[in-house]
Structure 1
Amino acid sequence: MAFIMEKLNIAMLLILVYQQILLSSSKELYQGHQERDEAAENKHKELFKGSSSKPTTPSDKDALEEFYHSTAGPAWLQNAGWLSGDPCQSMWYGIRCTPSGDVVEITLSHNGLAGQLPPKLSEMKNLQILRLYDNYISGILPISMFTIQSLIVLDLDQNQLSGNLPSVISLPYLTNLSLASNQIDGFMPYSWNCPNLQSVSVSSNNMIGPLPSSLSKLPKLKYLDLSDNIFTGPFPPEISALTSLETLLFQRNRGSSGVAPTIPESWHTLVNLKNFQVDGLSGDLPDIFDSWSKLEVLKVTFGQLTGEIPMSLCNLKSLQTLVISNNMITGTLPSCICKLSSTTMTSIDLSSNHLTGHLPDCFGSLHNLTDLTLASNNFSGNLPASLGACSHLNSLYLAYNRFTGSIPYTYAKLELKTLEIQGNKLSTVDDGLEQFFTGISFCSLYDNPWSCPLPTYLSNNTNCNPTCSKCNSLDKHTSCKACVSSSECGWCTEGPNCLEGTNQGPTYEYNCEPSNWIYGIEAACNK
């Protein structure tokens, strides 16, 4: 009896020690499998170095042998040592043990496993790490897996597992639960007793229903990925209790019923949030960003968000990526947007909203901006000359707005790879931009009333495809000749060019509104 108690005490001590190692390196839990595994395995190797002095416990050995046969062991990419000698003493590939012969880790990721997980696997009462991601394991996810009280890491990502999660998960040492990219359906557990759980990923499954408020009972949770399922809203206000949360991903959920979620005002308590990516939101963006001062990535897309951009968003000094696209945001772009960090901000996407007004001409302060996407809004006025100071800018998407005037000469020093400004009311190109256009890989300038002739370097640029109206002569419409002598021409009151149209308005809607159209053949010559 004393020997048995000593053995149990050693096993539990090792669990606690290894748990602390994992807890002290939480970043490894959600920066990609490779980084996480290498770091965790190195620590685990050090912890159990030379730990094969005693033979494997019989129940663990039986479970491993059944696991080998049920997952097509002979066809694994690596199966060195398996079924030869003792698992712990012979160091079967992917297996780690305690000095007393208990199997504590099975790591056989991207190793060609196929078949089903045997129920006997759950009889390995001292198993701490089960890492089998990126294989071809199929069948029902055994509920009994969630009875292994010693589990610290359960990572079965990228397999073909189906079935439901248990309604209650009670694993006191669990820090990482990864079940992404399977075929799991049903609801999230309604009860969690996992006080050390830091990372939960169930993305890319077929899970349904609203999110349970019981998620708020995970005090150490830092990473929560619920993307690509069939979840519905609303979001539980109780999530505000997850004050350690750093990443929340809720994208591409396909739930057709239920209430479109809003961001609860109570979530201002998520003060450690760094990465927030959510689709399908409704209502206004709450003015809580002063509390989310650590936020680095904000993506809220494909929803029904209304109202204006809250001013508190401009106070996110750590923000790197801002995406509020495909919503119904109104108002103007606040000039304080240029007060975002000049060192961290790299990407802004506010496309496909209802934003209006002139752009603030202050973008030069965002020195490291690489991508700016403001397409499909109702912005007007001139293109901001200050963008010419964004020396790292690679992509500029301003298509389908109401910009007028010219492409500024300040863009001459930019090294853009992509420029899309089609569907505006731009008419001229400033001098000195030949080198600028030469370096662009993809350029789209059509659907603008360009004054002709365009510079040769531009009119011959097949990448850019600028087009001129057939009505556009070397003379402006004030010279009358072409515009008033043809039944196919006229001009817009806000521009100088003779353009195609009829007595109903311009041929191309992007030129101007019919109310601002002058049909040339009906107009008096204004010399």
Structure 2
Amino acid sequence: MPSAIGNLTSIRILELSSNELEGEIPKSLGNLCRLKELHLGHNKLNGSISEVFELWSKCTKNNSIESLTLFANKFSVYRKTVQLTIYVSSNQLNGSLPKSFGQLVKLEELDTSNNQLTGSIPESFGQLVKLEALGNNLEGVIPSSMGYLTNLLSLQLSRNNLSGELPLSLRECTAMCTLDISENNFFGAIPNWIGMSLLKLKILNLHSNKFGGDIPLEVCNLKGLHVLDLAHNNISGTIPKCFYNLSAMTTLANPDDDTSEYYFPTLGDSDDFLVGDNVKLVTKGREISYSSILNLVRIIDLSDNNIQGEITVELTRLLQLQTLNLSNNHLTGKIPSKMGDMKDLESLDLSRNQLYGEIPASISSLTVLSHLDLSYNNFTGRIPTSTQLQSFNESSFIGNQLCGAPLLQNCSVIETTLKGGKREWQGYLLEENSLFLSLGLGFAFGFWGLLGSLFFNTPWSIAFCGFLNRIVLKLYAVIFEKF
């Protein structure tokens, strides 16, 4: 791009996308104070753009740019009728986020995802509605000034090196629908204000951090929650019984929901459409990236924590839940018999706990279940017969005392062994009891036959006592001589 392009100071729209442009973006673009739209996507441009933003922020007449697209790879066109959007994801941008972003008072949407940005999050961000900076190397804490973004709908900072506790000021972001700070180093207890102030949350993704303590009961106030991912933390306590209050997981989505447009993209005749958040979640044993269908997803993932207690029967009231992952905890007790009521369940992982008992027959009625893992528990008995359960691999059931298809272990052999073992045990107990009875009778007869006669016969009794007295005196003399 020629630097002389900066001389076109009256230009309003500059559309240069889908060409073979290469090299750095000229700094002279910062002179275009009347520019409203700049589209440079699908080129081979590189370098820093922060100085361009610096120059725009110094325009004597406030820069009124409305749309800026700089995506260079596979990203779709992203436009929306907002004051300013900046979409620079999946480039190879490095350095820190420009502080001049905070001077762009009309900035509402910023996506710098999947770059190589470092440093900390700037203190100010205009009037942001959406901030996506996932997949970078950002460090430090979430600034408390983030709480001033009272119109913030989406905050996505996953896959960075951020740390600290969540700032209390975030509770002021009452419009927030998505909070995704997964795969960082945040610590402390999960704040209870999340369930007291962020009542519009649909996505709460905190997995792969260092959060500890119990799951706050206030989370149950998030009636619109579709995704609750707390996996890979240090969470303890029990599964809250109030989870059945998560009504978005018990009923179908409400078409009158005022945030539904945020998740359902509307494709029209133009390039103007709304793209939902992009969130990576683990379901069916693998990580899947969700975006446009995010509003249709229902997931609870509490795996790899220190959660104890039983699987509450209240959990089975989440009839719209599609993925339930409770693996790698310290859960005990039996699988609730009403688990079969969760007809939309597609993925169920209860592996590596201390669950016991038989597998409920109702699970065989989960016809859409495509991923099941019950391995490494203390389950016993026959695997319920159904075409559904028998379609899974042996690995879904190993580490238990189960039998029947798909395992090769024949139930009749186990049952025969158990019955035989029971008979052998009963025979052993009978023999053991007979032995103790014989010993007892022998002792009784021996005592009364030999020693009893000594005590009841006076001459013999006197002689026996004298014999014992002489032995004691000799032992005393020997011990006295030695010591």
TM-score by length of 2: 0.68
Aligned AA (1:334): P
Q: How much does 1:239 deviate?
A: 1.4
Larger RCO of the pair (alpha carbons < 8 Å, separation 6+): 2
Q: How much does 1:112 deviate?
A: 5.0
- The residue that corresponds to 2:190 in the other structure is 285
Aligned AA (1:354): N
Matched, 1:339 2:230: no
Whether the 8 Å CA contact 2:394–2:407 is kept in 1: the answer is no
Matched, 1:327 2:230: no
**For residues 455-488 of structure 1, what are the alpha-carbon distances to aligned partners after superposition, in whole Å with 9 as ceiling and x for unaligned?**
3x4335xxxxxx689x95633288258999xxxx
Q: Secondary structure at the match of 1:362?
A: helix
- The residue that corresponds to 2:275 in the other structure is none
Q: Percentage identity across aligned positions? A: 26
Unpaired segments of 5 or more residues in structure 2? 57-62, 75-81, 254-296, 434-483
- The residue that corresponds to 2:448 in the other structure is none
Matched, 1:252 2:205: no
Aligned AA (1:240): G
Counterparts in 2 of 1:477 and 1:208: CA distance versus 1, 3 Å:
farther
Inter-partner Cα distance in structure 1 for 2:326 and 2:19: 45
**For residues 195-238 of structure 1, what are the alpha-carbon distances to aligned partners after superposition, in whole Å with 9 as ceiling and x for unaligned?**
221111122222222323233xx2x3110112112222322222
Report the structure, 1 or 2, having the larger helix content. 2
Matched, 1:424 2:329: no
Q: How much does 1:331 deviate?
A: 0.2
Aligned AA (1:208): T
- The residue that corresponds to 2:178 in the other structure is 275
Whether the 8 Å CA contact 2:3–2:27 is kept in 1: the answer is no
- The residue that corresponds to 2:351 in the other structure is 399
- The residue that corresponds to 1:208 in the other structure is 118
Matched, 1:437 2:389: yes
Whether the 8 Å CA contact 1:408–1:429 is kept in 2: the answer is no
Inter-partner Cα distance in structure 1 for 2:390 and 2:10: 66
- The residue that corresponds to 2:274 in the other structure is none
Inter-partner Cα distance in structure 1 for 2:344 and 2:18: 38
Inter-partner Cα distance in structure 2 for 1:442 and 1:156: 49
RMSD between aligned alpha carbons? 3.5
Whether the 8 Å CA contact 1:152–1:175 is kept in 2: the answer is yes
- The residue that corresponds to 1:235 in the other structure is 142
Counterparts in 2 of 1:253 and 1:320: CA distance versus 1, 3 Å:
same
Map 1:12-411 → 2, pairs under 5 A: 63=5, 103-109=11-17, 111=19, 113-141=21-49, 143-144=51-52, 146-148=54-56, 149-158=63-72, 175-191=84-100, 192-215=102-125, 218=126, 220-254=127-161, 260-279=163-182, 280-288=185-193, 289-341=195-247, 342-343=250-251, 344=253, 346-411=298-363
Aligned AA (2:340): G
2:421 to 468, 479, 493: 479
Inter-partner Cα distance in structure 2 for 1:444 and 1:184: 44
Q: Secondary structure at the match of 1:475?
A: helix
Aligned AA (2:92): Q
Q: How much does 1:143 deviate?
A: 1.6
Q: How much does 1:438 deviate?
A: 4.2
TM-score by length of 1: 0.62
Q: Secondary structure at the match of 2:198?
A: coil
Inter-partner Cα distance in structure 2 for 1:203 and 1:266: 24
When structure 1 is superposed on structure 2, of 231-240 and 111-120 the one drifting more is: 111-120
Inter-partner Cα distance in structure 2 for 1:106 and 1:427: 69
Inter-partner Cα distance in structure 2 for 1:340 and 1:306: 22
Inter-partner Cα distance in structure 2 for 1:261 and 1:61: 43
Inter-partner Cα distance in structure 1 for 2:120 and 2:89: 18
Q: How much does 1:429 deviate?
A: 3.4
Inter-partner Cα distance in structure 1 for 2:35 and 2:366: 57
Whether the 8 Å CA contact 1:247–1:273 is kept in 2: the answer is yes
Inter-partner Cα distance in structure 2 for 1:237 and 1:440: 49
Inter-partner Cα distance in structure 2 for 1:339 and 1:474: 47
Q: How much does 1:305 deviate?
A: 0.4
Q: How much does 1:317 deviate?
A: 0.7
Counterparts in 2 of 1:375 and 1:118: CA distance versus 1, 3 Å:
same
Counterparts in 2 of 1:107 and 1:359: CA distance versus 1, 3 Å:
farther
Q: How much does 1:134 deviate?
A: 4.2
- The residue that corresponds to 2:475 in the other structure is none
**Equivalences, count:** 366
Q: Secondary structure at the match of 2:90?
A: coil
When structure 1 is superposed on structure 2, of 193-202 and 131-140 the one drifting more is: 131-140
**For residues 177-210 of structure 1, what are the alpha-carbon distances to aligned partners after superposition, in whole Å with 9 as ceiling and x for unaligned?**
2222222222333352222211111222222223
Q: Secondary structure at the match of 2:355?
A: strand
Counterparts in 2 of 1:360 and 1:114: CA distance versus 1, 3 Å:
same
Q: Secondary structure at the match of 2:94?
A: strand
Counterparts in 2 of 1:112 and 1:239: CA distance versus 1, 3 Å:
same
Q: How much does 1:108 deviate?
A: 4.6
Inter-partner Cα distance in structure 2 for 1:349 and 1:312: 17
Q: How much does 1:253 deviate?
A: 0.7
Q: How much does 1:123 deviate?
A: 4.2
Q: Secondary structure at the match of 1:301?
A: coil
Counterparts in 2 of 1:336 and 1:396: CA distance versus 1, 3 Å:
same
